[in-house]
Amino acid sequence: MKLLYFAWLKTQIGKSEEVVQPPASVATVADLLDWLPQQGPAYKVIAERRATIRVAINQDFARPDQAVAPGDEVALFPPVTGG
């Protein structure tokens, strides 16, 4: 699974993308957001700002209960501020 980070998530986690292999128990967006903070101190921000974080799966906005699969591109980012 390819993960992308944007805006302050990118600066806090310290990278813009990475490939991860979560266990099979990580089935949804919410599961992924639970699992990531356990992967090291850099990911603590995901737990701390959980309610603020938005997720896209394969470049479409995703809900917390939406399924994630090994081949997916999953992006984590703050609410958008364009325009």
Partner 1 sequence: MSVSVQREDFDPGAELAALTAGRSDVGGVCLFVGLVRDSASDADVTAMTLEHYPGMTERMLEKIEAEACRRWPLQGCRIVHRYGRLEAGERIVLVATASPHRAAAFESSRFLIDWLKTRAPFWKVEHGRDGEDRWVEAKAEDDAVAAQWER
Which of these, 9, 66, 6, lies nearest to 36 by C-alpha position? 9
Which of these, 46, 47, 67, 64, lies nearest to 55 by C-alpha position? 64
- Sign of the dihedral defined by the CA atoms of residues 65, 66, 72, 78, in that order: negative
Q: Which of residues 50-69 bind partner 1 (CB under 8 A)?
A: 56, 59-61
- Nearer to partner 1 by Cβ, of 64 and 78: the residue is 78
14 binds partner 1 (CB under 8 A): no
71 binds partner 1 (CB under 8 A): no
- Chain contacts with partner 1 (rule: CB under 8 A): 4, 6-8, 56, 59-61, 75, 77-83
